[in-house]
Structure 1
């Protein structure tokens, strides 16, 4: 048996708190993204005809999303404010919730900006970025006169 020594300093309170909030002790899958200050996770796939973005954004309506294309920058954002209020009673408690995120992507020249479309289904925003048709140089034979 070999004894291995570690020269590691004991954790300070701030070091321990950093470990807790950086996911070493908390499984991020079960904690809301707002707790960590993160934004909506995105899966990006490429097919021969398009790029496909799947944005995980449960709890929103399709009217909550704003998708803008400014030059070569595609920005997907959403903002949802909701208020729970009981009328006809003395107000004891009132809860406000506010959720939002914004993601930006730089597109390359192969994306056809005129044909970009989006669909929101079961908590996933699916954005399709079609590729431009590849222009092939036509072979032209020139006869010598």
Structure 2
């Protein structure tokens, strides 16, 4: 939904050109967000841990920052490249810039005292989070009696 609604003076144009005049679509779809890339993320919960995979090809390990603040996991990366080619009478420079930031609220079962592993291989960042030992061995299921 757009923040500003326009007063339509010619409603017949709305019917004839709905996609052009629809400001909601204009600002929420590819026209503005075309360069805003967000990587695909898989989250897998196992009995003893969580595994998070971030598909982010084209980055290197030094481009990433993974932090946990107040039980919020933030994964961000920034990649800047400058390519310069010089030939006889001209010079050409090409800039490449790519970044993203994703945040997730972690469940209370994460053991923050244990080492949290992160590894970047073949374009995929893998983060490993251990569960609390107390919760690993217990089944947390409560059966509620229906009266």
- TM-score surpassing 0.5? yes
Aligned pairs for 1:86-105 (under 5 A) are: 86-87=85-86, 90-105=89-104
User: Residue in 2 aligned with 1:141?
Assistant: none
Per the TM alignment, residue 35 of structure 1 is displaced from its structure 2 partner at its CA by: 2.2
Pairwise CA RMSD: 2.9
User: Residue in 2 aligned with 1:18?
Assistant: 25
Inter-partner Cα distance in structure 1 for 2:21 and 2:60: 39
Aligned pairs for 1:132-143 (under 5 A) are: 132-134=132-134
Inter-partner Cα distance in structure 2 for 1:89 and 1:112: 60
User: Residue in 2 aligned with 1:6?
Assistant: none
Inter-partner Cα distance in structure 2 for 1:90 and 1:112: 61
Inter-partner Cα distance in structure 2 for 1:38 and 1:12: 24
Aligned positions, number: 119
User: Residue in 1 aligned with 2:131?
Assistant: 131
Against the structure 1 CA distance between its residues 91 and 130, is the aligned structure 2 distance closer, same or farther, given a 3 Å change threshold? farther
Per the TM alignment, residue 91 of structure 1 is displaced from its structure 2 partner at its CA by: 4.2
Structure 2 unpaired stretches of 5+:
1-14, 138-147
Q: Tell me which structure has the larger Cα radius of gyration.
A: 1
Structure 1 unpaired stretches of 5+:
1-8, 24-33, 137-145
User: Residue in 1 aligned with 2:67?
Assistant: 68
